Chain A
Amino acid sequence: MTTWQTIVAIAGLTVVSIVTRGFFMIPERRVPIPPWLREALRYAPLAALVAVLLPEVAMTGSHLIATWKDARLYATATGILVFVTTRKLLGTILAGSAVLLALRSGLGW
């Protein structure tokens, strides 16, 4: 793409961000949402996070991880362990990252 086309693409992507994040904010009158759907909404962020997380921690390409020599397995396990025991996000991130870095640079996993 030329620079101008890229600028148009970025402008359009900005509109996409505004429209998707504010989709049900656009109509002046509230779109009626049935009660069961409102209850169901409480599961939406959890499901989105799980779906985004899955390929990051458990998949290589389009397959589940099939080897023990993948540093992500141990970093993920460490992260879960730290979070379950401490409920602290910062420690979870630091401990998991440390394990990942150690296994990748130490063992080449």
Chain B
Amino acid sequence: MTASQGPWRHPEFARGAREMRDVALGIGAWGLVAGIAMAKAGLGAALAIAMSLCVFAGSAQLAALPLIVQGAPLWVVWATAFCVNLRFVIFSAGWRPYFEALSRPRRLLVTYFTVDFTYIAFMRRFPQPGAMSDQLAYVAGNATVSWCAWQGMTIVGVALADVIPSRWGLGFAGSLALLGITASLLIDRGTWIAAAVAACAAFAAFALPFHLNIVVAIAAAMAVGVLVDHFAPPRPKGEPSGDAA
């Protein structure tokens, strides 16, 4: 942390950045769409960009935006964003053992910059806690790429809101990035079953407000995943069956 050379000199910084590079295209596409949406919602360019730079949470921003524009009570705006962000609360339990040794402000600084993809890439790179300098450099590299892709393209989206036709379907590039990442996580029977359960639960609970169906899907998938791990012995290696999402 306090070494004379910055984390960007550390080899893990380059690795973290590299492993975010392809995802950055999807994040950038989302950022563009979010920027367009924010500009079109009538927030004004300056506030839209300020929101993106400070809040740095695309789905929460897009959920809170119409409420702000409609003049909903502040607590409703914040409660909505909190619910949409609940998955990060769950992820933060996963982060804890890795960054325990840091001071509280530094712990919060690290997690503030970690989006879903950073969590996934990091846990793949460090299945067990490793050297703190390696972990920090990896997160820094990874988050720098995602932050720049998101913020840069959001600002472009705000600027170009009236020029880009919506039928280009740019938002779908973000969904395709999600699709690939989801597929890459389907590595064994437990993950296939968990994904199928998550899809069913998310659909069944779709009518819940505040995107709470995401939390229902996470809880259902975690519960079933653990049950499968413990009570159903894995089959001999072969094609994983079952279809998901």
Find out whether the CB atom of B107 lies under 8 angstroms from the CB atom of A48.
no
Interface of B is mostly: helix
Separation of A33 and B93 alpha carbons in the complex (Å): 8
Nearest CB in chain A: distance from B180 CB, A: 4
Chain A hits for B45, CB < 8 A:
none
B176 partner, pick from A20, A22, A31, A97, beta carbons under 8 A? A97
Question: Which B residues from 131 to 187 make CB contacts under 8 A with A?
Answer: 167-173, 175-186
Interface of A toward B, CB cutoff 8 Å:
1, 3, 5-14, 16-26, 28, 30-31, 33, 36-59, 62, 64, 71-72, 75-76, 79-80, 83-84, 87-90, 92-93, 96-97, 100-101, 104-105
Kindly state whether residue B195 has any CB partner on chain A within 8 Å: yes
Closest-by-CB residue of A relative to B222 is A40
Total contacting residues, chain B, CB less than 8 A: 96
Separation of A30 and B43 alpha carbons in the complex (Å): 40
Evaluate whether A101 and B194 lie within 8 angstroms (CB atoms) in the complex, with A21-B114, A25-B111, A54-B202 already known: no
Evaluate whether A49 and B116 lie within 8 angstroms (CB atoms) in the complex, with A13-B54, A13-B61 already known: yes
Stretch of B3-11, B213-221, B233-241 with 4 or more beta carbons under 8 angstroms from chain A: B213-221
Find out whether the CB atom of B92 lies under 8 angstroms from the CB atom of A23.
yes
Kindly state whether residue B210 has any CB partner on chain A within 8 Å: no
Evaluate whether A50 and B199 lie within 8 angstroms (CB atoms) in the complex, with A24-B92, A45-B119, A89-B22 already known: yes
Interface of B toward A, CB cutoff 8 Å:
22-23, 25-26, 29, 43, 47, 50-51, 54-57, 59-61, 64, 68-69, 71, 74, 77-78, 81-82, 85-97, 99-100, 104, 107-108, 110-112, 114, 116, 119-120, 123, 167-173, 175-186, 190-191, 194-195, 197-199, 201-203, 206-207, 213-214, 217-218, 220-223, 225-226, 229-230, 244-245
Separation of A92 and B29 alpha carbons in the complex (Å): 14
Separation of A69 and B220 alpha carbons in the complex (Å): 32
Chain A hits for B222, CB < 8 A:
37, 40-41, 43-44, 47
B244 partner, pick from A14, A50, A56, beta carbons under 8 A? A50
Find out whether the CB atom of B60 lies under 8 angstroms from the CB atom of A17.
yes
Nearest CB in chain B: distance from A63 CB, A: 9
A53 partner, pick from B99, B190, B225, B245, beta carbons under 8 A? B245
Find out whether the CB atom of A48 lies under 8 angstroms from the CB atom of B116.
yes
Find out whether the CB atom of B56 lies under 8 angstroms from the CB atom of A17.
yes
